[in-house]
Structure 1
Amino acid sequence: MNLYTINCGHFKLDGGAMYGVVPKSIWNGLNPADENNMCSWATRSLLIETEGRLILVDCGMGDKQSEKFFGYYYLHGDDNLDKSLAQYGFHRDDITDVFLTHLHFDHCGGAIKKEGDKLLPAFKKAVYWSNEAHWKWATHPNPREKASFLSENILPIKESGQLKFVDHWSSKNDGQSDWHVVIDRKLPEVLFGEDFLVRYAHGHTDAMMLPQVRYNGKTVVFMADLLPSPGHIPLPYVMAYDTRPLITMSEKEAFLREALEKEYILFFEHDPKLECCTLKNTERGIRPDQFFKLSDL
């Protein structure tokens, strides 16, 4: 197995929205805002090369939206998915599986491209993976998330015939709360191999999937929007975008205890600079320990 960092580009979001109830006087030291209170964030994907498959975890927001749409998000920098794939000798047509952690536009927009008036799969040879619970949630969106679930990013995946669901998952209680946290659910080996597990989180959005990969004797967890950045590791640092912030806090607490005990490596999708970290226990709780790039493993 080989793992590669795929940089799909940078965009900006309101700092207050990204850090929730935490005051700007505190979070601004983590990711300084510009004059419009906007902070820079990455769309960082993970490419997994294993057993004849090339699995792309998330794919950024793509480039098919209108100039007005992108004007809200201040795209910047030179990174893009195709350039990043080419760095490792790959092309988007080499991708066999696109694993979508969830269907918010900054995670799945790159899954569909526009050719004339047609919306087509951007990875024409790939199987697209979601799960039934999240698909229903995204295709019948609540008012809070409606602006993040764009039909042009989602419906053409099913129409293409390339959509499959990660199925037969069930929740188990973490013993600490009244809500359910799904952990260590192995995907069928025929799809991703015995070193690829998927775990679920329900605070940010319903049934978000977090890939967990065993690599070079280490466990790497793709954090998606459970922990968008290492700055979100302290429990109160929960995005205003989360639909169930108290559940997010519970999921974070349970995951961080496990990750510290088992020495997981956390891979961050949205931090503009920091890719990975380990954890340590401090007087203030669990905090980042060492930072490094995925290529250093």
Structure 2
Amino acid sequence: MTLYPIEAGNFKLDGGAMFGVVPKSLWNRTNPADANNMIDIAARCLLIEDGDRLMLIDTGMGDKQSEKFFSYYYLWGDDNIDKSLKKHGFHRDDITDVFMTHLHFDHCGGSIQWNKDRTGYEPAFKNARFWSNEEHWKWATEPNDREKASFLKENIIPMQQSGKLHFIDREEDKSFSTYKELGFGVLFVDGHTDKQMIPHIDYKGKKLVFMADLLPTAGHIPLPYVMGYDTRPLLTLPEKKNFLETAADENYYLFLEHDAHNEIITLKHTEKGVRLDKTHTFNEIFN
């Protein structure tokens, strides 16, 4: 098995929304805001090469939305999936599987693209299967009013229409299971959105965890630092607490999808609770 970080692009989000009830005077220390109160956000995906299988975890926003839509997110930098794949010697047609932690537009939008004459949509990875879970799929396709602006039909329904959508079989009484069809373990969490999936990958003697929106940035480590986007913030708290304590105990390496400036972090126990231990680049740890 070989892993590759894939940069799908950078954008900005409102700092207040990203940190919920936490005052700007606190979160601005770790995630400084610009004049519009926006903070830097990444869409950092992960590519897993395992034998003849090439699986991409999450796909970023994609590029099919309107200019008005993207104006809300202040895109910056020149990273994109195609350039990042090419850097590692791959093309999007090489991808055999796309695993989506959840179906918010900034995590799955790159999975679907316009067709050639822009009359409809098609898979952006023509040879890939798409992986979700049935409960989250139902949550996303029958969205609540709070979340429906994040679940865009054009990102989701074409996966099903393609005939390439697959659901993993979640064991009802377990929050964590290892899936042979994926080749890694999955932790299910419900605070941010229903049945978000957090991949746990054993790699080169270490445990690498793809954090998705359970821990968006290193600045979100303190327990009360919960996003305003979370649908069940009081559920995020125990989910986050349990995970962070285990991560510190077991020396997990946390792969941060949304932290534009910190790729991987480790944690430690302190008198104030679990806190940041060290920041790392992917190459420092695994090359």
2:178 counterpart residue number: 186
1:162 counterpart residue number: 164
From 197, 201, 220, the counterpart of 1:232: 220
Aligned-residue sequence identity (percent) comes to: 61
Deviation at 1:117?
0.9
CA distance in 2 between partners of 1:166 and 1:266 (Å): 23
CA contact (8 A) 2:218 2:259 kept: yes
Residues 78-93 of structure 1 correspond to what in structure 2 (within 5 A)?
78-93=78-93
Partner SS, residue 250 of structure 1 = helix
CA contact (8 A) 2:113 2:123 kept: yes
Match of 2:282, as an amino acid?
L
CA distance in 2 between partners of 1:92 and 1:234 (Å): 37
1:295 counterpart residue number: 283
1:264-297 per-residue CA deviation (whole Å, 9 max, x = no partner) reads: 1111000011010111111211111111112222
Is 1:70 matched up with 2:62?
A: no
Deviation at 1:90?
0.4
CA distance in 2 between partners of 1:56 and 1:62 (Å): 14
TM-score (norm. length: structure 2): 0.97
CA contact (8 A) 1:204 1:248 kept: yes
1:20 counterpart residue number: 20
1:218 counterpart residue number: 206
Which consecutive unaligned segments of at least 5 residues does structure 1 have? Answer: 173-181
Deviation at 1:230?
1.1
Is 1:58 matched up with 2:38?
A: no
CA contact (8 A) 2:47 2:57 kept: yes
Deviation at 1:167?
1.0
Match of 2:155, as an amino acid?
N
TM-score (norm. length: structure 1): 0.94
Match of 2:211, as an amino acid?
M
Deviation at 1:192?
2.8
2:272 counterpart residue number: 284
Which consecutive unaligned segments of at least 5 residues does structure 2 have? Answer: none
From 223, 231, 234, the counterpart of 1:243: 231
Match of 1:5, as an amino acid?
P
2:132 counterpart residue number: 130
Deviation at 1:64?
0.1
1:244-275 per-residue CA deviation (whole Å, 9 max, x = no partner) reads: 00110110000111111111111100001101
Match of 1:127, as an amino acid?
R
Partner SS, residue 287 of structure 1 = strand
- Figure out how many residues of one structure are paired with residues of the other and give that number: 283
Deviation at 1:17?
0.2
Match of 1:192, as an amino acid?
L
RMSD: 0.9
1:144 counterpart residue number: 146
1:36 counterpart residue number: 36
